Structure 1
Amino acid sequence: MSLARARLLLPRKHAVGSVSLIQRRFASHDSHAHHEHHDDAHYSPEAGFSTPFWRNTVLLSLFAVGFYKWAPSPNQDVYLTRWLAQYTTPSEIWATVNQKHLLLSHQASENTILQTDAKRPNVHRYRYPQILDTGSPHLQPVGRVADMSSTVVRSG
């Protein structure tokens, strides 16, 4: 019952007759006679193992057993095996392709390692590079001072 209809049935002020109507509507069914529901529908008996599912299962299992028993062994040279071998690439070609791929992959990994481990060369930066030009190149003992004539001071 909807709420709007129940609100209409609720007792208004000083209305006596509608209370008994609501009590009758919501009363339990204990006072009424119990009626058993008899199912008169006719159900077919269960099919058991005569359904198409079981028939197909038995036929498929017989086919699998027969194929396993009479199929040629893997070492026999059968027409189907020869026909498939005609359209497939020989194993020697795949071996050379795989070897070449292995060598190229190895070279690529070595290049990657070389690039990831690479570092810029160490640069010694002097605080005052003009100090290199202050000394006289003359009257220096042999072997005590390095030859700095080809050194170029860069700004940076």
Structure 2
Amino acid sequence: MSALRRLPAPTARAIRPTLRSSPRRYAHDAHDAHGSGHLAAEENESFGKGFYFTLALIPTSWVLYKFNDEDSALRKYISSWDGLKEQWADRNKLHTDLIEQAAADRHLFLGQKGSRHVELKYPEMLNQGSPYNVPAGHYANLDKVIEHYKKQNAEEDERAMEAYRQREAAKK
């Protein structure tokens, strides 16, 4: 059974090279059809229709411009674009003002030194570090810090309550 399995594979490999097509030859190759290594004869190329159209367009446009009177449709059409100058001038002014303001803001922010003050939202923020690799007895005593922020929070609550009472009194 195994000999029967091995038989088709070598046969297919032997047939495959005969089925391959010959290599392609392209027109840009520097060899002629016989492969003798001689260059093919050069062919003259024309400039094409676009080149001659452009050559004819230049004097034609000059003649149209030169002999065009004041009341022609072409001049009226071109003069209708004059309003766009003001519109573009307004847009450019607005764009320039915005860019100058952005540059001034950037210089303002880059020129300032950052504040090192961090307001604590809750006292446990100071103990959020990892408890590992801290020698015994080296935890900071936060009692004074906790008292300071509790006092500050109570004062802010009192100010907020006073403002609320004043608003309620003003409504009545």
TM-score range, shorter chain: 0.3 to 0.5
**Quick check: which one's helix share is greater?**
2
TM-score by length of 2: 0.31
Answer with 1 or 2: which has the greater Rg: 1
Query: TM-score if structure 1 supplies the norm length?
Result: 0.33
